[in-house]
Amino acid sequence: MEQAKDIRPMKSFSKDVIALEKGKLPPQAIDLEEAVLGAMMIDKKGIDEVIDILQPEAFYKEAHKYIFEAIDQLFVSNQPIDLLTVSTQLRTNGKLDLVGGDYYLVGLTQRITSSAHIEFHSRIILQKFIQRSLIRISNEIIEDAYDETSDVFDLLDKAEAKLYEVTQGNIKKSSETAQSLVAQAKKRIEEISTKEGLSGIPTGFHKLDDLTSGWQPSDLIIIAARPGMGKTAFVLSMARNIAIDSGAGVAFFSLEMSSVQLITRLISSETGLSSEKLRTGKLETHEWEQLNVKVKDLERAPLYIDDTPSLSIFDLRAKARRLASQHGIKLIIIDYLQLMTAGGNQKGGGNREQEISTISRNLKALAKELDIPVIALSQLSRAVETRGTSKRPLLSDLRESGAIEQDADIVSFIYRPEYYKIDEWDDELGGSTTGQGEFIVAKHRNGGLDNIRLKFLGHFGKFDNLDSDLSSSDVFGSSMNTNEGYGNSRNFANSLPPADDVFGRSSINDDDVPF
């Protein structure tokens, strides 16, 4: 009984606090709203300065929302904007009487003589809007927090998502008109046409970039393979190309390897020093100099590595939002999907396929929310290795494939026949498989499919472009007759450490893990 008495006053107090907060006058700047709208109707320069800062919801007075909405519609359709055209647009929208008629519009234009300081005024209006949004969101969080049926992790994720929207100054609209969307699409096409290069984030792999035009914003890309194929090596090579060559920020969430192990593999790739030498630290004097000089670009690269184990999808989204806000990251990589947990109210021993479905759905939502590509590595089932001569993976080999295949914009595989001791390619191009891998694009929602051959350098744990004019011995930079280095490519391949050693595989990759 005493416990019940303690709880009731607390809930009552909460409602009183919320009611008191709602009773206050919300932050507003009506006079500045009038000045900005009046300036927009008398000076085109004023429109150009504030049209990207404000949106109808930023205005406190309902009539001002309708007026700005009419101005925005005229701006999008490239129509002249003045007192008469705004009046006509409001009449078309059926809102002229709601704003007070032509008399009110004339009054707005008489309050101001020029568009001086209009940008400063509009930013104050935006600040008041953000304050009102924070009050609204805070009250919603308080009410949800007192709901005993709410899951605390869902509540945290929802709260952080709402605050992130405010931080970005991009409060979600309920919907957008086709007219507005067409204008945005045309603007993006025009921007792409003036650029030399790709519309998305370049991977550094030429044929892949030709196929995809780079990784596109809001896309979820799945890269799947069996253990030992080089999933981590591929995405590390790609992260290096994006962060160093393109200067775009990359967030790498590693649930399997430590951040120091990953950066050591990148150092090996960047310096040309084998991973074995870096592991043992047995470097010659000139190799120490090589190490110190060639890591400079890597040190300056906008690459952020998080090696939190058993990361939940909610923690990942929170971390990704902060990285996007603080560092402007342009790509997220997760290594790998099956090591993540759904978090929230998921209980142990539940349906793993449902959990993976929740994770993949949230990864797609994260890509759309941040408007950047998200790449998730995934394991393939053992069915690949039980097949006959061809070990090339298929979509049906994806673990928990239904949800992953459905949510992903691109599903791709990494395949190295050499790992299975297959010496010749089984496609129409043929040739030796030594030192080569294949990037298979099996699903591409917005483009074509292809199998792209790449060079694989096992001693550096990296992938690179495969030039068609290179022979198999040239791939490793040595000839058949030289007595220096590794000799021919076949001997070099045989001299490599075991695959487990090259890739740093652990038992967590084995099929005994119940994923």
Residue 406 lies in a domain: yes
CA distance 200 to 248: 11
CATH of residue 115: 1.10.860.10
Residue 509 lies in a domain: no
CA distance 298 to 325: 22
My answer on whether 390 and 454 are in the same domain is yes
Local structure of 403: helix, strand or coil = helix
Spell out the residues 6+ positions from residue 167 whose beta carbon is closer than 8 angstroms to its own: 325
Residue 191 lies in a domain: no
pLDDT at 64 over 90: yes
**Mean pLDDT of the chain, nearest integer:** 76
My answer on whether 215 and 289 are in the same domain is yes
**CA–CA distances in Å: residue 254 to residues 232, 262, 301:** 9, 9, 18
CA distance 488 to 432: 13
pLDDT digits (tens, 9 = 90+) for 216-258: 888 999 998 888 888 888 888 888 888 888 888 899 998 888 8
Residue 315 lies in a domain: yes
Please tell me the predicted confidence (pLDDT) of residue 494. Answer: 38
pLDDT at 488 over 70: no
My answer on whether 292 and 402 are in the same domain is yes
Residue type, 38: G
Residue type, 206: H
CATH of residue 292: 3.40.50.300
Residue 180 lies in a domain: no
Residue 193 lies in a domain: no
My answer on whether 385 and 449 are in the same domain is yes
Helix 83-93, helix 62-76: angle, nearest 10: 110
pLDDT at 471 over 50: no
Q: Which tokens sit at 469?
A: 């004019």
Exposure b/e, 410-427, CB count within 10 A at least 16 = b = bbbbbbbbbbeebeebee
Phi, psi (rounded to 5 degrees) for 453: -80, 140
If one counts the domains in the chain, the total is 2
Please tell me the predicted confidence (pLDDT) of residue 88. Answer: 92
The answer to whether residues 416 and 456 touch, using CB atoms and an 8 Å cutoff, is yes
The answer to whether residues 272 and 214 touch, using CB atoms and an 8 Å cutoff, is no
My answer on whether 40 and 154 are in the same domain is yes
Local structure of 377: helix, strand or coil = strand
Among candidates 331, 350, 451, which has minimal Cα distance to 400?
350
Catalytic residue among 33, 69, 256, 355: 256
My answer on whether 118 and 256 are in the same domain is no
381: Cα separation from own chain's centroid:
26
Pairing mode of beta strands 220-225, 374-379: parallel
My answer on whether 330 and 454 are in the same domain is yes
CA distance 63 to 83: 15
pLDDT digits (tens, 9 = 90+) for 359-402: 888 888 889 888 899 999 988 888 777 777 678 888 877 766 56
pLDDT digits (tens, 9 = 90+) for 90-116: 999 998 999 888 899 998 888 887 778
Local structure of 443: helix, strand or coil = strand
DSSP 119: H
**Of 169, 189, 206, which residue sits at a domain end?**
169
My answer on whether 110 and 62 are in the same domain is yes
Q: Which tokens sit at 369?
A: 């929310």
Residue 303 lies in a domain: yes
**CA–CA distances in Å: residue 268 to residues 255, 274, 376:** 21, 6, 23
Pairing mode of beta strands 436-444, 410-415: antiparallel
pLDDT at 499 over 50: no
The answer to whether residues 254 and 260 touch, using CB atoms and an 8 Å cutoff, is no
99: Cα separation from own chain's centroid:
42
Q: How many CB atoms lie within 10 A of CB 215?
A: 24
Mean pLDDT in residue range 453-471 = 73
My answer on whether 254 and 305 are in the same domain is yes
Of the ranges 16-20, 156-160, 345-349, 478-482, the best mean pLDDT one: 156-160
Among candidates 221, 217, 218, which has minimal Cα distance to 208?
221
Of 75-89, 112-126, 327-341, 464-478, give the lowest mean pLDDT range. Answer: 464-478
Residue count (the chain) = 515
Q: Which tokens sit at 337?
A: 């999907």
Strand partners, 254: 335
Local structure of 464: helix, strand or coil = strand
Among candidates 72, 51, 170, which has minimal Cα distance to 115?
51
Q: How many CB atoms lie within 10 A of CB 467?
A: 10
- Containing 375, the helix (H) or strand (E) segment is strand 374-379
Question: Cis omega (within 30 of 0) on the bond before 104?
Answer: no
* CA-based torsion, 278, 247, 217, 465: positive or negative: negative
Mean pLDDT in residue range 199-209 = 86
296: Cα separation from own chain's centroid:
26
Which domain range does residue 129 map to?
A: 30-169
My answer on whether 458 and 310 are in the same domain is yes
Tokens 């099996």 locate to 442
pLDDT at 210 over 70: yes
Q: Is the pTM of this model over 0.75?
A: no
- Containing 366, the helix (H) or strand (E) segment is helix 352-370
400 assigned to active site: no
Please tell me the predicted confidence (pLDDT) of residue 151. Answer: 78
Q: Which tokens sit at 155?
A: 């509540």
CA distance 294 to 286: 12
Strand partners, 441: 412, 450
Of 230-239, 272-281, 325-334, 450-459, give the lowest mean pLDDT range. Answer: 272-281
Tokens 């691109």 locate to 410
CA distance 177 to 170: 17
**Of 169, 186, 217, which residue sits at a domain end?**
169
Residue 73 lies in a domain: yes
Q: How many CB atoms lie within 10 A of CB 512?
A: 8
CA distance 376 to 231: 10
My answer on whether 154 and 265 are in the same domain is no
Q: DSSP assignment of 284-320, as one string?
A: -HHHHHHHHHHTHHHHHS-EEEE--TT-BHHHHHHHH
My answer on whether 229 and 140 are in the same domain is no
